[in-house]
Chains A and B, each alone.
Chain A
Amino acid sequence: MRKQNWILLFTALMILALVACGKKEEETAEQPATPATNAPAPTPIDQSTVGEVTGKVSFEGTKPKTPVIHMDQDPVCVQKHAGKPVHAEDGDVNDNGTLPNVFVYVKSGAEKYTFAPPSDPVVLDQNGCMYQPHVLGIMAGQTLKVVSSDATTHNIHPMPKDNREWNMSQAPGAAPIEQKFARPEIMVPVKCNQHPWMRAWIGVTSNPFYAVTGSDGTFTIKGLPPGTYTIEAWSAIGGTGQTSDQTVTIGPKESKTLDFSFKAS
């Protein structure tokens, strides 16, 4: 009888103790402080070890005919070309079977580095109602300076998907337009609504490793720190643009060759 009572008492005490100790454990895991808002400092790169990638972009198939641009709607444009026919640049193939205006850049592999956008602006000229250059690269945050050598009014209308769109009028003799693209984007088409044939392509990159092929179809990307990279080539050939990727590993001071090739579509 007595024993049972004690058990009862003990149980009651235990319950009490359990209730008292039931207070939950605090888990105050320290959160990492959120990074400050300012841009991180550029990663230092050892210039003595950098390598480069060179290559050629060729075209498979018969050279397509590029259409002649009719500029009749604005005599200023016609005058500038002094009667010579102007062909569309998209779809053009060099005489040696290579492709001009191919944008080649490091698509991935350089993420571990941070690059400050160069302080020099990239210049886009409007000359003879054509953009010069037709394809250009720029780093996100770098200034694009649009100038006009024409005696007619243009408007510069980049149509990005990831960046903010703008559309500015530029009268003859007006001050250059300076704008920046905040985010990397391949490729941003640029047009002039008044001269609808005008077209430029801007490759906005997060690193300075890009190049555009010229009349010989070659490119060189310099200053690459040793590592493995995915290199992408973009060409407007075949309508809306197409890309081709290749992976390459660069050792210290190494120079690698990487060739690309595109078909009409």
Chain B
Amino acid sequence: MPDTPEKDPVTTSSLGTLLVISSVLVMLTLVWALYNEFFGLRPWKSYEREFSARYQTFLHKQIPQQEAAEKQILASPEYQQLDQQLKAAEEQVQQKADEADKQIAILDARFSALTETFTTERAYVATQVYAIEHTSLSRQPGLQKKLAEHEVGPFRVSLPTPPDGRIVTGDYTFQQLQDEFNKVQLDKANLLEEKSALLHPISDLRKKRDAYLTDHLNGLTSEQLSGLLKKALEAPVEIRQINIPDAGIVDRCESCHAGIREPVVITAKDMGGKKVFVSHPDPELLALHDPDKFGCSPCHGGNGMALESVERAHGNYEHWLWPLHPMENVQAGCQQCHAMDMVLDHAPVLSEGKDLFQRRGCVGCHRFQNYDPEPEEIASVQQETILLESKRAEAQHNVQRSIQMGDAAPDNDTARMYYTQADSLRVSISDIDGRIEQLDRRSKDLLRDTKKVGPDLKEVRVKIQPDWIPVWISNPHAWRPSTRMPRFRLKDDEVKAIAAFIWQSGIDATLPHQPPGDPVKGKESFETRGCLGCHSLDESSPHFAANLSRVGEKDNYDYLVRWIHNPRERTRPYCPFEKRDLTEADYKKHGLPYVFDLDHSKCPNDGHELQVEQETIMPNLRLTIEESRDIASYLITLKTKEPSSYPHADYLNDPSLKAQGHALVQRYGCAGCHEIAGMEDEGRIGTELTKEGSKPLEQIDFALLTREAREQGWYNHKGFFEHKLAKPEIYDTGRDWKDRDPNDRLRMPDFDLKPQEISSLTTFLMGAVDSQIPPRYWDMPEDQRRDIQEGWWVVKKYNCMGCHQFMVGQSSRLMMLPHYQTPEGRDQLPPKLMDEGARVSPDWMEKFLANPAMDPKDTDRDGVRSYLKVRMPTFFFSPIEIRKLVRFFQALAGQPMPYIPPKLEPLTDQEIAMARALFTSKGAPCLKCHATGDPAHDKFATAPNFLLARDRLKPDWARRWMLDPSMISPGTAMPSGLFKPVGDHYVFAGPTPDIFKGYDGDQPELLVRYMFEITPDEQRRLMSMSAEMLKTSELIRSQKPGVLSQNPAHPGPIVARIVARQAGGFGK
């Protein structure tokens, strides 16, 4: 056996290969770890690099384009002209400016030449004066003499002297030196001032020239772009973050979205299709919300701190409560700060959602802060009243005590103290009384402002054809697709029970019988009075109030007449204290007439405030009873089939159905939208939605769809809202009802919302969150902006935008109707209200809003625009809402409140004569369009009467209006160009009457003052003068005045006669 030694593993086998592999692996791991550390975990780095590269390419391309555009503008004749003007002006003043510079230089040299000697001597003199003041009296005269001798000098200085700078050497005393020193400075200051006055027009011209370039160049100048390019080249690759510690905002979004704040428009196309690099699509919005103050995530959602991946940064992962709002709901982010804004610029989708929440009646079941706040406010006012009353009783008690203490006081001082205390308490009681009065009023007003989404069902027996009711309840959308009334998923017996309950709970009364009207006239009235601002006759366009195309199938004619004549009229008043509808017997009992309206609104039984109006938004058009009959007669013809063709519902009077019906009505919360007898105090049945968007997801019941929602990616707030709104019963899907109470079914009815409406409402609800950012960010202003916020709620509540234009570019519903498309039709549109607060005095507006007829008795008219067929209705606003509206308009126009009218100089006789002459001159067309109260004339009037001006208008606005009305109301019938500027004032652009010769005042201002003084007598005088003027106009034109005055039929030009008139005011 050969002695082969055993292989020594130490020498023969090697782990080298493994080691090599392992070390390579370790190396690779290290490389990978390092790579991941610097790139993998920092995806934003590559984003930033890529952006930088693409942005530079983009700018490199932009700059030459912009340069070319600039070149074109620079070569344009307009720019050249401006440039020439600038050059000419420069040339003109150059010599003078140079001369001034030269003189200034000489003065500077003179000053410095003077300075050394003067300051040395001044120092010496100062020390001497000090010595004199601080030495003994005996030594003073000696020192003074010495100083005086020194001051005589002479001090020899060589000074450059204007105008040529020649050096002049002279001897000066100290006083002369000092004078010269001051003079040089003064001279220099004067010269500098002269020079700047000289150069001022040049800098103006330069600004004008440069402004021409920027105004005509689309986008930034090439120079600005080059600046951006330089910045982009130098930008380091680093985490870009916005950090606002006290708001808890750390947003690093710009580390990837690097182009978001760039001042140029960057589209995805510019960035090779990369959306991440675009600039913010709404720079104006960004300017309002400076990212350095607001960050990004407070508006957009997402996890601003996360950088490791897009999903993380956008917050689209479990446990992150605030995911990024998807693009279609991006405006949800506005709501948390703008909850008070009913109308929000830049957020049309959100505004639409907020609007729908009210309009579709969501608010009937779901409380949402700021929506329909009246009932809650009434309760809180009552609480406050109770509190004050107890305070008052306590104070009353203390008064008695103080008086007794005073009476029994040991000395007068103590007594006086107690008496003072008693007096002070009595004053506070009076103060409390005042407050209680105000609260009483407020409570009354709030009752008046309380409105319901749906009609008053107490009136059902006097209003409705009974057979129609079950058809309607079972499926309102089948009968009228656009209705706000939702569809409750009811079984036939439930429909019957509800219909029977509603019918039996209605007030039984007989309305006065109305004779028939003229449907042809009624149609005309319906189409022109403004009904179509809210109503419609078809399903095509969105409308605020009901589509009336089938009214004839369901309504009683007598009721319809009353409704059109005054929609707020109730059959019976309701006493909230007794909780019942009063009858005539209640009044009779107390010997009172059965009269109840806004002026007679106290309960005869207990003095409590009654609900005397129907809780409807529909206003009163102040039509005559005849016209109301005409319209009702027309509307009643609108039907697709006869009311008698509906199946007869004899069960409506079956008392056995009432209890079931009552339970169902309660269960479905019908009283949220309707007034129903006995259910006036029913609360809202739905959940409050004010903070629904931030309700934890696990508290939101997806029921059996949870798994499906997770799998399909809609397990979030958006998904829940969208599915719920599209199909409210969706979360009942899959439930087994065998062992369950059918009353557990979801109650929310179907609204048949359109996809766009669902999206708007979802956006609104997603935004309805418990805000995570500090309240200082919330838009809750205390100044006039608050008035604007509050006003929009009222404007929206009453659909003012159905007839009026509040913003340029916003169309009212009326404006869209074919009737108003022709030039004639356009002049029949209600006024635009863009500048209303600047136009009218708030005091006047308050009166107008309370009664647009502006007359307590003659109400079948419009107080301002009698020439319009369309009529401003009476809304019976409470003082609360009138105040809000008045403040709203004043605030929109930036007008201070309260309004103090400027004092207008009274007109002199000469000025009255001039104003009359101008008003009646054939060149001035004022009286051709403006109403005068003369029926023959007003047949053609298309503008308000001047008599209204004094109380209604603001003089500053009136002047601006005369100068260029189209700047205030684009498209107005009032023409521009009536006045032209001459120097610093305006003069009439047409032929001016001779009386104005030598007058250099502002003519529009003169007319304003005249308008604000005009009286009915004066107006009549104007009319007759104007008529005479027109008769003689041709003659005046063709003949000399001298010829005219020889003719007894024409006693000289009217102007001459006015001048000759004796001094005195109007009407003499």
- Neighbour of A155 across the interface among B28, B57, B826, B925, CB < 8 A: B925
A-B contact count (CB 8 A): 128
- Neighbour of A159 across the interface among B823, B924, B928, B1034, CB < 8 A: B823
Q: Contact: B18 with A5, CB < 8 Å?
A: yes
Q: Give complex CA distance A34, B72 in Å.
A: 14
Check if B978 is an interface residue, CB within 8 A of chain A: yes
- Report B-chain residues with C-beta under 8 Å of the C-beta of A155: 925, 975
Q: Contact: B823 with A12, CB < 8 Å?
A: no
- Neighbour of A199 across the interface among B57, B823, B923, B942, CB < 8 A: B823
| Interface 9-residue window, one of A51-59, A164-172, A208-216, A224-232 | A164-172
Answer whether A73 and B17 are a contact pair too, CB < 8 Å, given A191-B823, A193-B973, A193-B975: no
- Report A-chain residues with C-beta under 8 Å of the C-beta of B69: 36-37
Q: Quick one: closest B residue to A2, CB to CB?
A: B17
Q: Give complex CA distance A84, B269 in Å.
A: 68
Q: Contact: B990 with A172, CB < 8 Å?
A: yes
Tell me the smallest distance from the CB of A234 to a CB of chain B, in Å. 15
| Interface 9-residue window, one of A41-49, A74-82, A136-144 | A74-82
Q: Contact: A153 with B925, CB < 8 Å?
A: yes
Q: Contact: A167 with B972, CB < 8 Å?
A: yes
Check if B1037 is an interface residue, CB within 8 A of chain A: yes
Q: Contact: B940 with A73, CB < 8 Å?
A: yes
Check if A120 is an interface residue, CB within 8 A of chain B: no
Q: Contact: A16 with B973, CB < 8 Å?
A: no
- Report A-chain residues with C-beta under 8 Å of the C-beta of B925: 152-153, 155, 169, 194
Check if A151 is an interface residue, CB within 8 A of chain B: yes
Q: Quick one: closest B residue to A37, CB to CB?
A: B69
Tell me the smallest distance from the CB of A166 to a CB of chain B, in Å. 7
- Report A-chain residues with C-beta under 8 Å of the C-beta of B18: 5
Check if A264 is an interface residue, CB within 8 A of chain B: no
Check if A157 is an interface residue, CB within 8 A of chain B: yes
Q: Contact: A240 with B821, CB < 8 Å?
A: yes
Check if B213 is an interface residue, CB within 8 A of chain A: no
Tell me the smallest distance from the CB of A106 to a CB of chain B, in Å. 26
Please count how many residues in chain A sit with their CB below 8 Å of the partner chain's CB atoms: 48
Check if A9 is an interface residue, CB within 8 A of chain B: yes
Check if A68 is an interface residue, CB within 8 A of chain B: no
CB-CB contacts below 8 Å: A138-190 with B? 151-153, 155-157, 159, 165-174, 177, 189
Q: Contact: B72 with A76, CB < 8 Å?
A: no
Most buried by B among A152, A191, A193, A199: A193
Q: Give complex CA distance A150, B265 in Å.
A: 53
- Report A-chain residues with C-beta under 8 Å of the C-beta of B31: 16
Check if A61 is an interface residue, CB within 8 A of chain B: no
Binary flags per residue of B25-67, CB closer than 8 Å to A gives 1, else 0: 1001001100100000000000000000000010001000100
- Neighbour of A8 across the interface among B17, B21, B929, B991, CB < 8 A: B21
Q: Quick one: closest A residue to B218, CB to CB?
A: A37
Check if A38 is an interface residue, CB within 8 A of chain B: yes
Q: Contact: B21 with A76, CB < 8 Å?
A: no
Q: Quick one: closest B residue to A78, CB to CB?
A: B1030
Binary flags per residue of A14-29, CB closer than 8 Å to B gives 1, else 0: 0010010000001111
- Report B-chain residues with C-beta under 8 Å of the C-beta of A13: 28
Q: Contact: B25 with A9, CB < 8 Å?
A: yes
Interface of B is mostly: helix
Answer whether A169 and B976 are a contact pair too, CB < 8 Å, given A9-B24, A34-B65: yes
Most buried by B among A16, A36, A157, A170: A157
Check if B989 is an interface residue, CB within 8 A of chain A: yes
Q: Quick one: closest B residue to A5, CB to CB?
A: B21
Q: Give complex CA distance A121, B991 in Å.
A: 26
- Report B-chain residues with C-beta under 8 Å of the C-beta of A174: 989-990
Q: Give complex CA distance A79, B21 in Å.
A: 114
Tell me the smallest distance from the CB of B859 to a CB of chain A, in Å. 28
Q: Give complex CA distance A177, B272 in Å.
A: 50
- Report A-chain residues with C-beta under 8 Å of the C-beta of B382: none
Check if B309 is an interface residue, CB within 8 A of chain A: no
Check if B827 is an interface residue, CB within 8 A of chain A: yes
Tell me the smallest distance from the CB of A144 to a CB of chain B, in Å. 15
Q: Contact: B68 with A167, CB < 8 Å?
A: no
Q: Give complex CA distance A153, B974 in Å.
A: 13
CB-CB contacts below 8 Å: B923-939 with A? 923-925, 928-929, 937, 939
Q: Contact: A169 with B25, CB < 8 Å?
A: no
Most buried by B among A8, A74, A166, A167: A167
- Report B-chain residues with C-beta under 8 Å of the C-beta of A79: 1034
Check if B977 is an interface residue, CB within 8 A of chain A: yes
Q: Give complex CA distance A177, B924 in Å.
A: 17
Binary flags per residue of B936-967, CB closer than 8 Å to A gives 1, else 0: 01011010000000000000000000000110
Q: Contact: B971 with A27, CB < 8 Å?
A: no
Q: Give complex CA distance A174, B975 in Å.
A: 15
Q: Quick one: closest B residue to A24, CB to CB?
A: B50
Tell me the smallest distance from the CB of B217 to a CB of chain A, in Å. 9
Tell me the smallest distance from the CB of B372 to a CB of chain A, in Å. 40
Q: Give complex CA distance A193, B989 in Å.
A: 18
Q: Quick one: closest A residue to B941, CB to CB?
A: A73
Q: Contact: A157 with B1030, CB < 8 Å?
A: no
Q: Give complex CA distance A259, B823 in Å.
A: 30
Check if B922 is an interface residue, CB within 8 A of chain A: yes
Tell me the smallest distance from the CB of B1002 to a CB of chain A, in Å. 18
Q: Give complex CA distance A16, B24 in Å.
A: 12
Q: Contact: B989 with A169, CB < 8 Å?
A: yes
Answer whether A165 and B977 are a contact pair too, CB < 8 Å, given A151-B1033, A171-B990, A240-B822: no
- Report B-chain residues with C-beta under 8 Å of the C-beta of A196: 824, 827, 940, 942
Check if A119 is an interface residue, CB within 8 A of chain B: no
Check if A31 is an interface residue, CB within 8 A of chain B: yes
Binary flags per residue of A189-204, CB closer than 8 Å to B gives 1, else 0: 1010110100100000
- Report B-chain residues with C-beta under 8 Å of the C-beta of A27: 272
Check if B154 is an interface residue, CB within 8 A of chain A: no
Binary flags per residue of B818-843, CB closer than 8 Å to A gives 1, else 0: 00011110110000000000000000
Tell me the smallest distance from the CB of A189 to a CB of chain B, in Å. 5
- Report B-chain residues with C-beta under 8 Å of the C-beta of A16: 28, 31-32
Instruction: Return the 6 tightest CB-CB contacts between A and B, nearest first.
Output: A171-B990, A155-B975, A169-B975, A171-B923, A193-B973, A194-B928
Which residue numbers of B lie inside 8 Å of A, CB to CB? Answer: 17-18, 21, 24-25, 28, 31-32, 35, 57, 61, 65, 68-69, 72, 218, 269-270, 272, 821-824, 826-827, 922-925, 928-929, 937, 939-940, 942, 965-966, 970-978, 988-991, 1030-1031, 1033-1034, 1037
A-B contact pairs, 14 of them (CB 8 A): A2-B17, A12-B25, A16-B31, A28-B272, A31-B269, A37-B218, A76-B1030, A79-B1034, A155-B975, A167-B972, A173-B990, A174-B989, A194-B928, A196-B942
- Given A26-B272, A38-B72, A167-B965, 5 more pairs with CB closer than 8 A: A9-B24, A36-B72, A153-B925, A171-B989, A171-B991
Which residue numbers of A lie inside 8 Å of B, CB to CB? Answer: 2, 5, 8-9, 12-13, 16, 19, 26-29, 31, 33-34, 36-38, 73-76, 79, 151-153, 155-157, 159, 165-174, 177, 189, 191, 193-194, 196, 199, 240
